[in-house]
């Protein structure tokens, strides 16, 4: 039985990360710290061999990946928008502290684990469905190891799906740090179906 390794790299610190703003599918490029993180990640990744690279199309991911691409010339990047961060709608660009003051009920409900479409964007259920579909597509292609450069939300839900955690339990997992690596080993038989019932 073939096993595919997905090596998930979260982007480096962005300017909005440093400013404590919600990003979602909006946002800026990397901060100075994020650019340094990306260089360090590139140095480590040179010790690994990949059969392919898949990446979100957002700027902070593109800038994180560039130092690694500059170090090698034999792999092309396949851009897949399904690996984008969760859409937080009108919350994008807003200060986290401001929204906590202006929409406390929504912030508190989300903190309790309710799967709310913040700012009219996506729910985690929707994010999990599209990310798992993208992960399964890579696994079905039969490659051995793929670098996936993405965001914290997609990494968390991909890990939850691989572990077979029920919908909502991705929030029990610690969020990945900037430029951290998470490796998932998928055998192609693992299937996760998003439950159709109510959230817990």
Q: Which residues are catalytic?
A: 11, 85
- Is 16:25 a contact under the CB 8 Å cutoff? no
**Which residues are CB-contacts of 36 (< 8 A; sequence separation ≥ 6)?**
12
**Which residues are CB-contacts of 126 (< 8 A; sequence separation ≥ 6)?**
117
Do the annotations mark residue 15 as ligand-binding? yes
Do the annotations mark residue 16 as ligand-binding? yes
Do the annotations mark residue 11 as ligand-binding? yes
- Is 170:156 a contact under the CB 8 Å cutoff? yes
- Is 172:6 a contact under the CB 8 Å cutoff? no
Single out the residue of 122, 99, 92 nearest to residue 25, CA to CA: 92
Do the annotations mark residue 13 as ligand-binding? yes
Single out the residue of 67, 74, 10, 60 nearest to residue 38, CA to CA: 67
Do the annotations mark residue 14 as ligand-binding? yes
DSSP 60-95: HHHHHHHHHHHT--S--EEE-GGGSPPP-GGGTT-B
Q: Show binding-site residues.
A: 10-17, 60
Q: Show binding-site residues for substrate.
A: 10-17, 60
């Amino acid at each position: 039985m073939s096993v595919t390794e997905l090596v998930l790299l979260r982007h480096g610190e962005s300017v909005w990360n440093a400013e404590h703003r919600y990003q979602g599918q909006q946002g800026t490029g990397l901060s100075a710290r994020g650019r340094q993180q990306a260089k360090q990640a590139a140095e480590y990744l040179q010790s690994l061999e990949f059969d392919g690279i898949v990446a979100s199309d957002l700027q902070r991911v593109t800038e994180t990946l560039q130092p690694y691409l500059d170090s090698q010339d034999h792999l092309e990047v396949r851009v897949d928008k399904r690996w984008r961060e969760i859409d937080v709608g009108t919350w994008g660009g807003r200060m986290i502290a401001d929204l906590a003051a202006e929409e406390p009920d929504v912030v508190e409900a989300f903190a309790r684990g309710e799967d709310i479409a913040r700012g009219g964007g996506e729910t985690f259920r929707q994010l999990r469905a599209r990310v798992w579909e993208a992960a399964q597509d890579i696994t079905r292609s039969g490659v051995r190891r793929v670098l996936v450069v993405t965001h914290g939300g997609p990494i968390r839900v991909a890990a939850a799906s691989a572990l077979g955690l029920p919908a909502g339990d991705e929030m029990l997992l610690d969020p990945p740090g900037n430029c951290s690596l998470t490796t998932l080993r998928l055998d192609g038989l693992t299937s996760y179906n998003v439950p159709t019932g109510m959230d817990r």
